[in-house]
Structures are given as structure tokens and as C-alpha cells.
């Protein structure tokens, strides 16, 4: 073999290329130092070799050192990423057929090329392997499907009045971070309660600096209004300190302090102040009541439990920080059914902490492969000791047992939902006489008010239910569409969606049967349109224009008489038996309920997107539309005139009088609000 096989995301080095370090993944990405490329030459691999013969040819030239290897098929797709303490010995197992399952046999048979990277240590190889699996998502590896970062609570620093925010992503902003939380909803509920308990601001810095009077949150006793000095900086700093203490696990001390202040105010007959302390105590109790079990002996730990049955694995993760339970989340990694639960859990752990901060303690329900190596790798990456334990008794064992019970229940729910979804998709295919059971259904809907802030929404459903990571919204941009023209809006959405899909993926070949392990498809098998014959005529015209009418089945779903649910009419392709008037399904038909649920989800998503856009339009400041007016000039104008409306009425002389506004900028502002430019 000769030449490098192109892959997504860039990568590494193969035996046929020179030592080009620019091709290596960034050490920051993998959590490990950059690999060393010091090994045997592999450029003399004959062409035409496949499978075990190809692997054997590579083995002869591999070093006896740690590293990472990748297997490719003939199309250049990554089949598998693995790490080894000894590359030569590990890779030779594939060529000799040792302990091969059907999965590995198929993988070896499809291998048409390999690439290798040597590393200093096995720890570096482990961290690099996890990084590459997440980036390349090879078909034969265990894959972490839900890879969203966790939300945190951020108390900002380096400001006169620190704020309380929900934060997700890189922790680059100065301040104190508390978490992780299992979901954004958990963070939102906690922040709402913390607002009532500590009266910290949640507004942006620009809003904070431009306030001239307290906002509504101060009126409803959810902010101390440090923006207008309704509270002294020292007293506000004390509130911030108490909030940090509470989030750091000193909740009892904070509650005791507030309770003491409430008693003192009551004794002094200051009942209004006492009531304020009472409400703060109630808010703190509300936070703790939503944290479930709070162990006394576990300060910082993540608890992992796996339930593996019927070819499906469920991994339940509980997060404990500062002695408090910040929630849990269930994961369903994609893995070969022949793998054991310990193998799945081991592969999952390495990927899970690839881009997430690691606690000092990890509790597992069973011993995993290379547990000591994983502990050492996470410790090296984190900069502190990370212990991985399988507790046998006591409070930690109770926590693990609780996680196991939750994993078992989530696994059962998932199997039931998947089986139900599969039956519904089969029924859907039968009802609409489809050649094959659809694996991807896209549902479209529009939302607007008299044509304003129009948004098109697309939701996606598949064998495992709704796939929210695939949802898309389309802000209607065309100026040629008459306000309220649903046909024109749908035409724009369809054109933009499928033109881009053709450009990025090309036209699909429906004659090729796609296997179950091919991943979730990018092309829809079916699109459902919220509309009748008129809508469908417009949609099918677009599909014909793009020459994809034979690739996608378009079905219209029109609301029933008097918009009554259960009396919807369906407009599939072709005339008979549907005819121009479509057809209905019997009441209580499972497929009817299935379609209604998909249509309602599209309606919910489209309306939510429309409301978000409308809200953004409503709060937009007219000054934001003027080029060259940044936060500093905007703040100066608002401080000088009070409101944007007053700025729009100001003359050139008044505008120039504002600090930081030159004559040229004043003219630009004046012209923006006065189209004729007259003074």
C-alpha cells in the first residue's frame, strides 16, 4: 500500500508519509503530550493486499513500543481505533486470528490500510485513543453517543458586583465554577432558587453598567440591585460569599447564619426583614430538596453503573460535588452486542473524560479492564490523584447500588421505547406502501405572526425516537415572499435544506441496502409536511427541480375538519388510492397517533423558534443597528440621553456633546434616524 488515506478531522501519520508533525492532533485535544514518531519504516507494503495478509505485512515493520493504530476500509473510512502497550504484538493478533469474534473477523476482512502512531507511554496511547474515537467515530469501536458538555453554575469574578450565570463549554471566563449538573434544567432551577436566597444579579455586564434604576427582579425580591447601589458593595460581597459557601458544600453553616439573622430581626420587631430571611431559607431548602440523596462521606465523586442486556448497554452516571448530588444522566453507548459490560464500561470511561474535568474519585459497579492504567492516565491529565474504586460495603456501595437500579430501569424503558418505535415505523411503512422501513423521517412546519419573524422548523425521528441533535431551524430570509405566504416559506425551507444536502453529501443511492451499523443517515427516507395538496404541490416541484423526487418520499398531513385531531388527511405521492383529496386513518390507529406526535413536535419546535426570534427582535436596541456603535459608545449615549428614543430625536449638536462621539460618528447616528439627512 502507498499514500495516506484521507480522514475527517485530520490525523496522524502512516507508514508511507514523512514525519510531518503538523498532521498530529493537538496535545490539548487529546489530553496527552504529542506522540513521538520514532519507529520502523513501513513504506514497502505491496499493493493489492487486504485483510490478514495486509496486517501481517505491516506487523513485520512495527516497533515494540506503545502506540495507537487505525484500520481503514477500501473507501478510506476508519473502521477501528485501538491502543497497544506493544504495537507489534497487539497488531499481530489480528493477523493470526487469535480469539476473533464475528465482529473482529468482519473488521479484519474489510481492512485495506492501517496507520500507526508511537507514543512515549501507554498512558499517552490511552488518552490519544479516546480522543481519536470521539473525533472519528469508527464503526467497530464503542461510541459515546451523547457528547454534550455539562452545564455549570458560574459566579463571575473581577467585577464590582459578581453575577450568577449558567455556563456550558470552555471554562475560560474568570470566576468560580460549580458543578457539573446533569442537565440545563437542573441548573435553571438551582439558579432560580439561588436568586431568591442570595439576591445575586443575573443580568449581563452591559445591562448592569447601563441601568439607571432597579429592574423588575429587584421589585419581586430576586435581586439586590447593586447596579444602582440599592445595596452597598460590602453587603453585596457578603451575599456573594454566602452563595459560594453554599455551593461549596457549607450549606448548613449558611442556613444557620440566615436563621440566626431571621431570629434577631424578629426579636427586634423588624418583621419585614425577618420575612426576607425566611424566604431565603425556604429557597435554600428548595435547592437541597431537588438534589436527592446527599451522602455525608462522599465529597467529590462520579458514580458509574452499567446494565448490559439484549445487546443494549445503559450506563447511569451520578455526579456528587461538595457533598451534594447534582443529578444523574443515562447514556446508551453504541457497542457490539458480543462485548462484555466491563469492556463497554472501560471504553466509555476513557471517552467520557476526554474533554471533561475529572473528580478525585470514580466509583464503579464492577472492575474494568486496565483500571489501574486508566486511573494513572486520568491522574496525569488532571494534575491530581484520581482514584477508581469498586466499593464493597458502606455508603459508597449504597450509592453504586442506587446507580445500578437506575441503570436497570432506564435500560428497560429504552428497550420498550425502541421496540415500540420499531413497530410504529413498520406500521408507517405498511400504511404508506413504502419499499422499506424508514430510518430517518423529517417533519417540517412554519411559524409566524402575519408573516413577521417567520421561522421554518425541521424535526427528525428515527428508530430510537426523536433525534434532537438533528433538529434545524430556518429563519425565512427571502424578501420576495408575501407576508403569510406559507407556500413560499415552505419552498424556501425545502430549497435551502436539500440544496445544502446535495452539496455536502451528494445524491443518495437508494438501490444499495444500508446495514444497521452504518450509523444514522443524513438523507431522509420520508419527509412529512404540515399541509394539504397545495403545500405538497409546491414541495414536489422543488424535489423535481433538484432531481431528487425519487430519493425522498414526501407526504402531506392536513388538519382535519374544524382542525380536529384524529381527522387528519394524508397526501402521499401518486393519485390512487389517495386521490386528490387524500385519505384518512381509522380513529385510535397507532400509526395515526405516531404521525400526530411527530407533527406536534414539529409544531412545538417551530413555535419555540419563532418566539425566540420575536423576543430577540422586541428587545433589540435601535442603536445596535448602527455600524461603528459598540458597547462603549452605546453606553455613553444612553447615559447622556437616557433612552434610545431620545437619541433618535437628538440633533447633531447634542450628539457631538456626548463623550466619545466625534462629529463623523454623530453624523452617522443622525443620518440613521433621519433618512433625509436634514438637520
Nearest CA to 102 out of 630, 517, 440, 544 is that of 517
Count CB-CB contacts under 10 A for residue 335. Answer: 23
More confident residue, 133 or 144: 133
pLDDT higher than 70, residue 212: yes
**Average pLDDT of the residues in 391-417:** 87
User: Cα(524)–Cα(536) distance, rounded to whole angstroms?
Assistant: 17
Dihedral, CA atoms, 521, 523, 526, 528, nearest 10 degrees?
A: 110
pLDDT band of residue 148 (cuts 50, 70, 90) is low
- Give per-residue burial for 417-431: e unless 16+ CB within 10 Å, then b: ebeebeebbebbbeb
User: Cα(568)–Cα(553) distance, rounded to whole angstroms?
Assistant: 19
**Average pLDDT of the residues in 283-305:** 68
User: Cα(198)–Cα(277) distance, rounded to whole angstroms?
Assistant: 10
Query: In the chain, what percentage of residues exceed pLDDT 70?
Result: 81
Model pLDDT, residue 512? 66
Model pLDDT, residue 269? 80
pLDDT band of residue 305 (cuts 50, 70, 90) is very high
> Is the distance from CB of 253 to CB of 245 less than 8 angstroms?
yes
pLDDT higher than 50, residue 577: no
Model pLDDT, residue 146? 63
How many residues are recorded in the chain? 679
Q: What is the pLDDT of residues 79-125, one digit of tens each?
A: 999 999 988 888 888 887 665 677 788 888 888 888 888 888 888 88
Model pLDDT, residue 538? 82
Domains of the chain: 21-136 (3.40.1440.10), 151-289 (no CATH), 301-413 (3.30.420), 441-508+521-614 (3.30.420.340), 622-673 (1.10.150.20)
* Block residue for cell numbers 422501513: 437
Amino acid at each position: 500500500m502507498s499514500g495516506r488515506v484521507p480522514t475527517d478531522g485530520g490525523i496522524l501519520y502512516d507508514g508511507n508519509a514523512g514525519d510531518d508533525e503538523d498532521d498530529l492532533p493537538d496535545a490539548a485535544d487529546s489530553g496527552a503530550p504529542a506522540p513521538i514518531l520514532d519507529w520502523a519504516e513501513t513504506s514497502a507494503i505491496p499493493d493489492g493486499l487486504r485483510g490478514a495478509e495486509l496486517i501481517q505485512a505491516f506487523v513485520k515493520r512495527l516497533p515494540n513500543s506503545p502506540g495507537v493504530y487505525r484500520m481503514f476500509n477500501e473507501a478510506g473510512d476508519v473502521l477501528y481505533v485501538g491502543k497497544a502497550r506493544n504495537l507489534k504484538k497487539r497488531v499481530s493478533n489480528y493477523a493470526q486470528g487469535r480469539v476473533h469474534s464475528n465482529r473482529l473477523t468482519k473488521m479484519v476482512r474489510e481492512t485495506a490500510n492501517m496507520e500507526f502512531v508511537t507514543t512515549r507511554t501507554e498512558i499517552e496511547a490511552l488518552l490519544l485513543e479516546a480522543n481519536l474515537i470521539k473525533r472519528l467515530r469508527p464503526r467497530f469501536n464503542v461510541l459515546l453517543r451523547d457528547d454534550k458538555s455539562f452545564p455549570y453554575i458560574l459566579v463571575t469574578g473581577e467585577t464590582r458586583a459578581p453575577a450568577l450565570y449558567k455556563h456550558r463549554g470552555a471554562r475560560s471566563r474568570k470566576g468560580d465554577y460549580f458543578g457539573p449538573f446533569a442537565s440545563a434544567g437542573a441548573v435553571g432551577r438551582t439558579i432560580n432558587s439561588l436568586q431568591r436566597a442570595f439576591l445575586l444579579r443575573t443580568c449581563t455586564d452591559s445591562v448592569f453598567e447601563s441601568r439607571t434604576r432597579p429592574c423588575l427582579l429587584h421589585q419581586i425580591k430576586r435581586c439586590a440591585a447593586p447596579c444602582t447601589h440599592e445595596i452597598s458593595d460590602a453587603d453585596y460581597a457578603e451575599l456573594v460569599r454566602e452563595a459560594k459557601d453554599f455551593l461549596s458544600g457549607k450549606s448548613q453553616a449558611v442556613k444557620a447564619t440566615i436563621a440566626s439573622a431571621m431570629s434577631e430581626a424578629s426579636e427586634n420587631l423588624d418583621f419585614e426583614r425577618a420575612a426576607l430571611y425566611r424566604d431565603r431559607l425556604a429557597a435554600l431548602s428548595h435547592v437541597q430538596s431537588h438534589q436527592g440523596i446527599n451522602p455525608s462521606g462522599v465529597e467529590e465523586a462520579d458514580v458509574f453503573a452499567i446494565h448490559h442486556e439484549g445487546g443494549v448497554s445503559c450506563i447511569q452516571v451520578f455526579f456528587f460535588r461538595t457533598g451534594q448530588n447534582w443529578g444523574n444522566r443515562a447514556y446508551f453507548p453504541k457497542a457490539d452486542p458480543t462485548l462484555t459490560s466491563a469492556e463497554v464500561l472501560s471504553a466509555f470511561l476513557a471517552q467520557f473524560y476526554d474533554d471533561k474535568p475529572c473528580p478525585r474519585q470514580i466509583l464503579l459497579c464492577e472492575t474494568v479492564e486496565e483500571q489501574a492504567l486508566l486511573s494513572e492516565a486520568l491522574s496525569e491529565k488532571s494534575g491530581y490523584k484520581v482514584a477508581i474504586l469498586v466499593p464493597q460495603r458502606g455508603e459508597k456501595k449504597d450509592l453504586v447500588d442506587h446507580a445500578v437500579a437506575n441503570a436497570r430501569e432506564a435500560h428497560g424503558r429504552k428497550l420498550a421505547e425502541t421496540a415500540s418505535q420499531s413497530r410504529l415505523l413498520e406500521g408507517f411503512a405498511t400504511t404508506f406502501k413504502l419499499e422499506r422501513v424508514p430510518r430517518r423521517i423529517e417533519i417540517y412546519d412554519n411559524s409566524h405572526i402575519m408573516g413577521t419573524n417567520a421561522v421554518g422548523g425541521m424535526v427528525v425521528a428515527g428508530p430510537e425516537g426523536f433525534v434532537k441533535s438533528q433538529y434545524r431551524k430556518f429563519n425565512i430570509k427571502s424578501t420576495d415572499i408575501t407576508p403569510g405566504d406559507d407556500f413560499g416559506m415552505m419552498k424556501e425551507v425545502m430549497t435551502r435544506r436539500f440544496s445544502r444536502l446535495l452539496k455536502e453529501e451528494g445524491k443518495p443511492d437508494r438501490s444499495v441496502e444500508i446495514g444497521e451499523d452504518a450509523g444514522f443517515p443524513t438523507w431522509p427516507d420520508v419527509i412529512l409536511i404540515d399541509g394539504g395538496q397545495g403545500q405538497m404541490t409546491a414541495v414536489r416541484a422543488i424535489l423535481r427541480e433538484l432531481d431528487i423526487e425519487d430519493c425522498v418520499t414526501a407526504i402531506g398531513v392536513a388538519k382535519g375538519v374544524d382542525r380536529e385531531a384524529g381527522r387528519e388527511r394524508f397526501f402521499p405521492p401518486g393519485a390512487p388510492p389517495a386521490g386528490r383529496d387524500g385519505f384518512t386513518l381509522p380513529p385510535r390507529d397507532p400509526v395515526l397517533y405516531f404521525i400526530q406526535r411527530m407533527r406536534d413536535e414539529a409544531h412545538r419546535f417551530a413555535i419555540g423558534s419563532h418566539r425566540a426570534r420575536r423576543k430577540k427582535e422586541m428587545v433589540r436596541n435601535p442603536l445596535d443597528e448602527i455600524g461603528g456603535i459598540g458597547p462603549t459608545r452605546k453606553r455613553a449615549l444612553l447615559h447622556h440621553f437616557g433612552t434610545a428614543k431620545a437619541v433618535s430625536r437628538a440633533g447633531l449638536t447634542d450628539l457631538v456633546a456626548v463623550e466619545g462621539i466625534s462629529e463623523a460618528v454623530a453624523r452617522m447616528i443622525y443620518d440613521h434616524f433621519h433618512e433625509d439627512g436634514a438637520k
